[in-house]
Amino acid sequence: MAHKRPYYCLLILFVLAICFVPSFGDTNARILMRFRSSLSNASALSNWGNESNLCSWNGLLCRNGQIFYGLRLENMGLEGKVDVEALMELSNLTSFSVINNTFEGPMPEFKKLERLRALFLSNNKFSDEIPDDAFEGMRRLKRVFLAQNGFTGYIPKSLANLPRLLDLDLHGNSFEGNIPEFQQKDFRVFNLSHNQLNGSIPESLSHMDPSSFAGNELLCGIPTRISCHNFSNVSRSLTPDPSSPPQKKGKNRHILIAVLVVVAVVVFASIAALILIHNHRRKRFQPSIPGKQANSQSNAGFQESQSIDLTSDFKKGGDGELNFVREDRGGFSLQDLLRASAVVLGSGSFGSTYKAMILNGPDVVVKRFRNMNNVGKKEFTEHMQRLGSLTHPNLLPLAAFYYRKEDKFLVYDFGENGSLASHLHGRNSSELTWPTRLKIIKGVARGLAYLYENFPGQTLPHGHLKSSNVILDHSFEPQLTEYGLVPVMNRSHAQQFMAAHKAPEVSQLGRPNEKSDVWCLGILILELLTGKFPANYLRHGKGGNKADLATWVDSVVREEWSCEVFDNNIKETRNREGEMLKLLKIGMFCCEWSVESRWDWREAVTKMEELKERDNEDDYSSYASEGDLNSRTMTEDEISFSVNN
């Protein structure tokens, strides 16, 4: 019988394990109910305690629908006290979010939750200074979002010393003083904008996007392009030593006002000088079109109406005529174009763009390209005629061109509703509802598919697909522009600036391939869903670049916070989250780093055409049930993507 004793022991252990699991779940349930009792206005948590399965409770995060690991109590109108003592007893708690509620007072002592990896407190009413040791011991913490609260005082040194910190968003508070040196150098998200910070930006953060520091008038350093030489004394006077007694607020306020006045005068004088220099250079290098001043209606949306004279540019070295490439275009001559009023729309890596308002004729866009110098006139003309023959509702038609050896002018129809980039990142982003965004991306996909079908032998049918090259009409129907120009671009310039050359295979293999445009489509999908500008997620260090928007989205999804990536303007959309998640998944498959695993354009377009404005029951449940979406219980297979194969 002695040899049977090990089996009896195993049987006993098995029975104990079975008994232990429900008791462990019951323990978590009691802790969570105690935590809920500390909250006010907690009607959104009314199903807590009614279900035996914790993962069916609103706001609970579970892996594989079974293992509880976090709380996502967002947009629930919660008030009261965050009972950290209760949360300490949840041994598996690694993620905590109360975004967009109405919690008040000082930040709770979250440092007691040493296992925490993600902390989201944005859009509440937390206030007061955060103690310098508030994040001490939280060595696993990767993501800290404290934006849009009322925090004051210095940025805690314990926060700057977190060894694994990757995402930090402190914007929209009243933090003051100098920015500390952060132990982490390569952030995926970094935003200190719209606080009251001052002094020099640490050199370790000099590669960050300037928008990360916007709204801090007394900051200086490389990202702000403001020299710290004139700010050194000011910074010392406004940033007291923490060991010294506090100065009177009134005195600091007077100093601050005086400094702001001086800064305003300096900035105004600098701007005036830049305008004078710019106008002087324009007179030397870009002679202007004489003509009528543009009326206010035509100039709606532009800061200034500038007369642009292209007369000498068009005539010097040119063939003397405007070449129309479409039979349904015309109605104006080169002289009409030269006499038209014009305004500058922008200036990019390829050249300048103007809006020309032809008297008794249409408004057109004139794009000047300076990097097509290696193309002969015959080759260029043939390619322009081919582009002019393209007809699709999602392509902005090329109307005409003008050939010069040094540079080329392309004339397009004018899109009166601006670019997708201006809507996503400007003041009108709230106009882009989920149905509108879905309409836009489907139109972009159809236009790209048309280019693939008409340029079957070309590696990059578009080559420069990005949000600023998607023009919208008044019904928000998208039209692609700057398409099909790869064959006539200087190769070195294309490699440096064209969007498709940013695809990962270019750094790996030294050249783009037929799926590089699909990678651009994927980035555009993610930009459309997140509302985030892709350039803010590029790492400017050595040794390659994997810190792109797709990688950031993937990191969020892997932590099963997939809904958090969506733009705030579409995040509250009801009965549409399932379709949004499907589009997110399509975008990630288009952004696969492995070219072999990346979808081709046909598969991407087919999947996008299947998307609907609203979730129906079948489609909704194929991604997640309503309970799953509330508790984020999706499996990794359903909502996790690989971008680093």
Known binding positions: 367
| Model confidence at 426: pLDDT above 90 | no
CA distance 20 to 36: 24
- pLDDT at residue 179, as a whole number: 92
The fold adopted by the segment(s) 311-413 is Phosphorylase Kinase; domain 1 (3.30.200)
**Number of CB atoms found within 10 A of residue 106's CB:** 13
Beta carbons within 8 Å of 642's beta carbon, 6+ residues apart: 554, 592, 594, 597
Token digits for 207?
């590669």
Beta carbons within 8 Å of 203's beta carbon, 6+ residues apart: 222
Among 239-248, 326-335, 518-527, 584-593, which is the least confidently predicted range? 239-248
CA distance 291 to 306: 11
Length of the chain: 645
224-261: string of b/e by CB count within 10 Å (b at 16+)?
bebebeebeebbeebbeeeeeeeeeeeeeeeebeebee
Confidence of residue 135 (pLDDT cuts 50, 70, 90): very high
CA distance 416 to 255: 47
Question: Which class for 265: exposed (0-12), middle (13-18), buried (19 or more C-beta within 10 A)?
Answer: exposed
**Span 76-105, average pLDDT:** 91
**Span 237-247, average pLDDT:** 45
Confidence of residue 129 (pLDDT cuts 50, 70, 90): very high
- pLDDT at residue 288, as a whole number: 32
Return the SS3 of 62.
Answer: strand
Q: 560's torsion region: left (phi>0), alpha (psi -120 to 50) or beta?
A: left
Helix (H) / strand (E) containing 602: helix 601-609
Residue 289 or residue 165, greater confidence: 165
Token digits for 176?
């003051």
In terms of average pLDDT, the best of 49-53, 128-132, 198-202, 217-221 is 128-132
- pLDDT at residue 162, as a whole number: 93
Confidence of residue 320 (pLDDT cuts 50, 70, 90): low
Token digits for 413?
């129809």
- pLDDT at residue 414, as a whole number: 86
CA–CA distances in Å: residue 613 to residues 419, 430, 444, 608: 22, 17, 17, 11
- pLDDT at residue 108, as a whole number: 94
**Span 250-265, average pLDDT:** 57
CA distance 474 to 422: 14
Residue 612 or residue 294, greater confidence: 612
Beta carbons within 8 Å of 457's beta carbon, 6+ residues apart: none
Confidence of residue 643 (pLDDT cuts 50, 70, 90): very low
In terms of average pLDDT, the best of 384-398, 399-413, 606-620 is 384-398
Residue 443 or residue 41, greater confidence: 443
| Model confidence at 260: pLDDT above 90 | no
SS (H, E, C) 558-592: HCCCHHHHCCHHHHCCCCCHHHHHHHHHHHHHHCC
CA distance 58 to 246: 46
Token digits for 273?
């000088």
| Model confidence at 147: pLDDT above 50 | yes
- pLDDT at residue 91, as a whole number: 86
CA distance 540 to 190: 14
- pLDDT at residue 116, as a whole number: 94
Token digits for 559?
């932590």
Q: Which residue has the tokens 């004078």?
A: 276
**Number of CB atoms found within 10 A of residue 192's CB:** 24
- pLDDT at residue 549, as a whole number: 64
- pLDDT at residue 356, as a whole number: 84
Q: Which of 637, 636, 638 is nearest to 625 (CA)?
A: 638
- pLDDT at residue 575, as a whole number: 63
Confidence of residue 566 (pLDDT cuts 50, 70, 90): confident
Residue 250 or residue 441, greater confidence: 441
Return the SS3 of 125.
Answer: strand
Question: What's the count of helices (H) and strands (E) in the chain, helices before strands?
Answer: 20, 23
Query: Residue 229 — φ and ψ, nearest 5°?
Result: -60, -45
Q: Per-residue pLDDT tens for 512-522?
A: 888 889 999 99
- pLDDT above 70 coverage of the chain, percent: 68
Q: Which of 533, 524, 591 is nearest to 557 (CA)?
A: 591
- pLDDT at residue 583, as a whole number: 92
Q: What's the sign of the alpha-carbon dihedral 128, 131, 132, 136?
A: negative
Q: Tell me which CATH homologous superfamily contains domain 73-246.
A: Ribonuclease Inhibitor (3.80.10.10)
CATH-assigned architecture of domain 420-639? Orthogonal Bundle (1.10)
SS (H, E, C) 91-108: CCCCEEECCCCCCEECCC
Beta carbons within 8 Å of 102's beta carbon, 6+ residues apart: 41, 77, 78, 79, 124, 125
Beta carbons within 8 Å of 469's beta carbon, 6+ residues apart: 419, 480, 481, 482, 483, 499
Beta carbons within 8 Å of 513's beta carbon, 6+ residues apart: 459, 505, 595
Among 172-186, 253-267, 376-390, which is the least confidently predicted range? 253-267
Q: Per-residue pLDDT tens for 435-474?
A: 999 999 999 999 999 998 988 878 778 888 999 899 998 8
Token digits for 583?
């589009």
Q: Which residues pair with 174 in a beta bridge?
A: 152
- pLDDT at residue 292, as a whole number: 31
Token digits for 400?
């005409």
Residue 206 or residue 311, greater confidence: 206
Question: Which class for 9: exposed (0-12), middle (13-18), buried (19 or more C-beta within 10 A)?
Answer: exposed
What pTM was estimated for this model as a whole? 0.54
Residue 259 or residue 391, greater confidence: 391
- pLDDT at residue 626, as a whole number: 31
| Model confidence at 51: pLDDT above 50 | yes
Beta carbons within 8 Å of 46's beta carbon, 6+ residues apart: 58
- pLDDT at residue 291, as a whole number: 31
422-452: string of b/e by CB count within 10 Å (b at 16+)?
bbbbeeeeeebebbbbbbbbbbbbbbbbbbb
Confidence of residue 29 (pLDDT cuts 50, 70, 90): confident
Q: Which of 391, 263, 378, 251 is nearest to 323 (CA)?
A: 378
Confidence of residue 294 (pLDDT cuts 50, 70, 90): very low
Averaged pLDDT score across all residues of the chain: 75
C-beta separation of 539 from 524 below 8 A: no
CA distance 170 to 466: 29
Token digits for 333?
């001559």
Q: At what angle do helices 549-558 and 577-590 cross, to 10 degrees?
A: 130
CA distance 419 to 381: 27
**Span 605-621, average pLDDT:** 66
Q: Any idea where the domains of the chain sit in the sequence? A: 73-246, 311-413, 420-639
| Model confidence at 624: pLDDT above 60 | no
Helix (H) / strand (E) containing 324: strand 323-324
- pLDDT at residue 359, as a whole number: 77
The CA R_g of the chain, rounded to the nearest whole Å, is: 29
Beta carbons within 8 Å of 131's beta carbon, 6+ residues apart: 156
Confidence of residue 110 (pLDDT cuts 50, 70, 90): very high
CA distance 638 to 593: 19
Known binding positions for ATP: 367
Residue 316 or residue 377, greater confidence: 377
Q: Per-residue pLDDT tens for 273-292?
A: 555 554 444 433 333 322 33
